[in-house]
Amino acid sequence: MVMKSTLLFLSRQEKLKNFVLGFEFAQRVSRRFVSGETQEQAIQAVKELNQKGFLTTLDRLGENVTNKEEAVKAADDYLLLLDKISQNGVGSNVSCKLTQMGLDLDFDFCFNNVKRIVERAKGHDNFVRIDMEDSPRTDKTLQICFALHREYQNVGAVIQSYLYRSEEDVRRLLEQKIRIRLCKGAYKEPKTVAFRKKKEVDENFVKLMKQMLKSGVYHGIATHDDKMIQATIDFAKKENITKESYEFQFLYGIRRELQEELVKQGYNVRIYVPYGDQWYPYFMRRMAERPANLFFVAKNFFRR
């Protein structure tokens, strides 16, 4: 818990980020978790994953923009990305963070930026997942998701099982038949809003998973935890829910062998494929989520 808190704190340190970005080694190690810095590199990664039987979602790294010009550029990049997905005939949707679209600057401005992306995706018969960030932004994120879904339908939400509020949020989303990605959560949250113990987070994850799978809506179960994966498989079998009715979701570069095994077993598996030069906060959160990732970095450090 102390290590996780420390890594999450470091993920928000701008000076440290700038220092780390200067090391070629850090950039090289990040390639395990980030597909590249350009859209072309990301599309190539998706092609390779598609060939192995994986679905994907592409994410342009970046968050907490400080001016509207940055936000407009990020949205424009997503429009171009959606065009390239269609032109290359690859199997991928897109995921985006609202603070990258200007949520902290102006709500309506952010909404219109995301609306442009959802409209373009609709034109390509594609889908947009709105990522969830820390709890102070949950209400606004869901507000935008609900509004866009009413008009376009090709948009989904993310729910984090470590938040107390998530059961009610899942209920509201299911009422509107909105597709959900369920994950545990990767931000440092106060005990007033989030479960503190892993056992509690896991129990809530399983509870929410069951509600989602019984809804008849196609959802994503995003976890690298063997127990959560097995709980999902067991529940689906018990309820006669087919493998085609949901998907497992994994982060790029994490537990590759398990990803491939699930595909062999006939499950739908989607890989979250990030790209871009703003990889530091994302990279640090991956270290915080799973100690094995930190061991991987340490092992490679001593192999320099």
What phi and psi, each to the nearest 5 degrees, are found at residue 56?
-145, 165
169 classed as catalytic: no
Beta bridge partners of 163: 194
Report the distance separating Cα 126 and Cα 109, nearest Å. Answer: 23
Residue in 104, 131, 169, 202 annotated catalytic: 131
304 classed as catalytic: no
Q: In this structure, what token pair is assigned to residue 146?
A: 């609900």
Residue in 179, 181, 255, 285 annotated catalytic: 181
Report the distance separating Cα 160 and Cα 141, nearest Å. Answer: 13
Q: Could you list the active site residues?
A: 131, 181
